[in-house]
Amino acid sequence: MTAQIINGKEIAEKKRVEIAEEVIRLKNLGVTPGLAVILVGNNHASRTYVRNKEKACHELGMNSILIEMQEEVSEEELLAKIAELNETPDIHGILVQLPLPKHIDEKKVIESISPSKDVDGFHPINIGRMMTGQNAFLPCTPYGIMVLLEETGISIPGKHVVVVGRSNIVGKPVGQLFLNQDATVTYCHSKTKDLPLHTNQADILVAAVGIPNFIKAEHVKDGAVIIDVGINRNEAGKLCGDVAFDEVAKKAGYITPVPKGVGPMTITMLMYNTVKSAAESLNRD
Ligand code: NDP
């Protein structure tokens, strides 16, 4: 068997066309969706991510503002800026690029963002709403994974989903989204004993570990759906996922590549959430 490739780039482009149409509808109603991105310090990777987010906003006809702060900025100053953006009507989404410098409490910062503008979906109120199946901003990478499966026509109810990784931004929420759609979910992590025993039961296997080529053919059941969240560099400096693509693709039914798999969906769902926030602001006014 050779797995069918889930083309995240193509699916993201399709979604972006739908988002652009919604932006036009909102503009006709007098609202241009606006995203504020706060970048603290000079982390090279963060700067690239932020640039890509701004570019996506402009391509979709949305507004974006970038607020750059020095590495030494105080927590107080950052919180004051967020408080100001919470009250700015033409800003519908606020995103603080992580990681933050060590002297700033990340949890406190995330909790200071108004839940109605938390387009990253990291605020505990949005996480609680997601867990209880209420209207919420869903975290972008997990949400993007669900859209990839939906667009590929892969049914979820009753499937056994195994998630390797339990971070707050990927592993935990993606498992929850699968559970919300009636999957049976197993979480694995660094303390899991006999990992292959669990992963071999997966109809859908999500790898969110951050170790190049960690998931091998021996971890995978014939015909399984493999979602590779990892963005890593191998020894040669080449971009690669958490899954040993060539050997796993021979066994799996479907697989996401890296790049052009999960990655393009993350920014797309950020745009989706910002537009959703703008639409919801209309109902509040
Ligand atoms: P974290 O480092 O926060 O979490 C990694 C998880 O993997 C932890 O839960 C850890 O377990 C688990 N883990 C580590 N080693 C093992 C092991 N030997 N066996 C089983 N589990 C293990 O990473 P993130 O969730 O933030 O990111 C994961 C990957 O996804 C990274 O490559 C990151 O770059 C990528 N990523 C990609 C995005 C995209 O847009 N495509 C977005 C976000 C992240 P424990 O909890 O016990 O420590």
148 and 245 assigned to the same domain: yes
**Spatial CA neighbour of 117 closest among 75, 76, 79, 87:** 87
pTM of the model: 0.97
User: What is the pLDDT, as a whole number, of residue 283?
Assistant: 86
Task: Find the 86 Cα to ligand 1 centroid distance in Å.
Answer: 31
105 and 62 assigned to the same domain: yes
Task: Find the 153 Cα to ligand 1 centroid distance in Å.
Answer: 26
161 and 112 assigned to the same domain: no
> Quick check: is 203 catalytic?
no
Q: Is residue 19 part of a domain?
A: no
Q: Is residue 249 part of a domain?
A: yes
Domain that holds residue 65: 30-117
> Quick check: is 107 catalytic?
no
| Sole residue written with tokens 């990478």 | 141
CATH number of domain containing 79: 3.40.50.10860
Answer with the one of 55, 82, 117 that is the final residue of a domain. 117
153 and 108 assigned to the same domain: no
User: What is the pLDDT, as a whole number, of residue 25?
Assistant: 98
CA–CA dist 206, 253 (Å, integer) = 14
Q: Is residue 128 part of a domain?
A: no
Residues contributing to the annotated binding site for NADP(+): 165-167, 231
Per-residue pLDDT of the chain (285 residues; tens, 9 = 90+): 699 999 999 999 999 999 999 999 999 999 999 999 999 999 999 999 999 999 999 999 999 999 999 999 999 999 999 999 999 999 999 999 999 999 999 999 999 999 999 999 999 999 999 999 999 999 999 999 999 999 999 999 999 999 999 999 999 999 999 999 999 999 999 999 999 999 999 999 999 999 999 999 999 999 999 999 999 998 899 999 999 999 999 999 999 999 999 999 999 999 999 999 999 999 876
78 and 108 assigned to the same domain: yes
| Tokens linked to 195 | 């990992």
**ipTM, 2 dp:** 0.99
250 and 143 assigned to the same domain: yes
Q: Is residue 2 part of a domain?
A: no
Q: Is residue 251 part of a domain?
A: yes
Q: Is residue 190 part of a domain?
A: yes
Q: Which of 81, 117, 120, 203 is catalytic?
A: 120
230 and 172 assigned to the same domain: yes
> Quick check: is 117 catalytic?
no
Specify the residue with its C-alpha closest to ligand 1, atom 42.
Answer: 141
CA–CA dist 254, 204 (Å, integer) = 9
Could you give the number of structural domains in the chain?
Answer: 2
**Spatial CA neighbour of 67 closest among 28, 35, 32:** 35
Specify the residue with its C-alpha closest to ligand 1, atom 19.
Answer: 190
Q: Which of 53, 81, 159, 172 is catalytic?
A: 53
Instruction: Indicate the top mutation candidate among 50, 146, 170, 260 to test ligand 1's pocket, ranked by most ligand atoms within 8 A of CB.
Output: 170
CATH number of domain containing 222: 3.40.50.720
Q: Is the CB of 141 under 6 A from ligand 1?
A: yes
103 and 69 assigned to the same domain: yes
